[in-house]
Amino acid sequence: MRIMITGASGYFGQLLAQRLRDDLGADTEIIGIDIREAEDTPQEMRFLEGDTRKKRIEDIFKVQDQIDTVIHLARDATPGLPSDKSMMTNVYGTAHMLELALKYKVKQFIFPSASIVYGAHRDNPALIHECHPLLGNRDVSNIRDRVEADMICQSFSNNTRMKVVILRIVPIWRAQGNGMLQRYMKHDLVPTLMGYDPMFQIIYEEEVLEAFSLTVRNPKAFGAYNIRGRVFMPLSKVIKELGKTPLPLPEPLVHKKGQFRWSENVRFDFNYLKYPFCVDGDRARRELKYRPEEITITRV
């Protein structure tokens, strides 16, 4: 089996390469693609330089033997990045890789989306199913890119020659890295919006890795799957679960037009701290056999 991982030099790309080799064995070849190689590329991955936005990345497909699975992790979430530049990587790059994967007869294409694509709205159902419309706030570039890339993947999902799988993952709590959740909860005191305490979900890295591994090992998987973690409770309790203290404040003291007052690097739709966007994970449980409550968590 031959697996290509884009965005492979990132923290999660390296974790995933190690996990897939552990689960699939030494006979599986893992090819890592990124614009530059990480200093500590794992032995489990053969690195090739490539940019998903550029035409020349097709050369990698041309010279490789049959690639069975593409896992498209390449994404630019650099704080303050101009909107048009982020769109080139996050949206155009995704469309480009889908086209190449289809052209070169890749059997499975896996794309990590996010539960934020559903949007946080007062009238959301308690648990959102995969058929729910994607109503994330497109005025925020990070959310817009997620929604558009997800929809592009959906447009390919009816193709019978390649199984396109979209994993809509709830907010990830990372042991390392600089994700949005980490930046929002950077300090011991975490500001929340006074008068609001919506149900909230987070997922740990081990749970995300399990979802990817199960998907790679399931050739029948296709379409969108909501991927939730074991943590599902009011936001204030989630903050305490992570060893921090919630600090309810009037909204003007928390953000101004989506810019977090407590950090220059956090800008998002603060409706996610007001209204629910929690997902139902039954389809992943049934078809992928994904059961987060059975996964051992070693890092918090």
- In this prediction, residue 177 has a pLDDT band, given cuts at 50, 70 and 90, of low
- pLDDT score of 77: 76
CATH architecture of the region 2-172+202-228+277-294 = 3-Layer(aba) Sandwich (3.40)
Calculate helix-pair angle for 11-24, 205-216, nearest 10 degrees.
50
pLDDT band at 117 (very low <50, low <70, confident <90, very high): very high
Instruction: Determine contact, residues 172/211, Cβ cutoff 8 Å.
Output: no
- pLDDT exceeds 70 at position 68: yes
Cβ atoms 94, 149 nearer than 8 A? yes
Please, which residues bridge with residue 109 across strands?
Answer: 70, 164
Q: How confident is the model at residue 268 (pLDDT cuts 50, 70, 90)?
A: confident
Answer whether residue 299 shows pLDDT above 60: no
Q: What is the pTM of this model?
A: 0.94
Q: Give the C-alpha separation, 154 to 118, whole Å.
A: 14
300, pLDDT greater than 70: no
For range 42-63, the mean pLDDT: 88
What type of residue sits at position 156?
Answer: F
> Which tops the pLDDT comparison, 42 or 32?
32
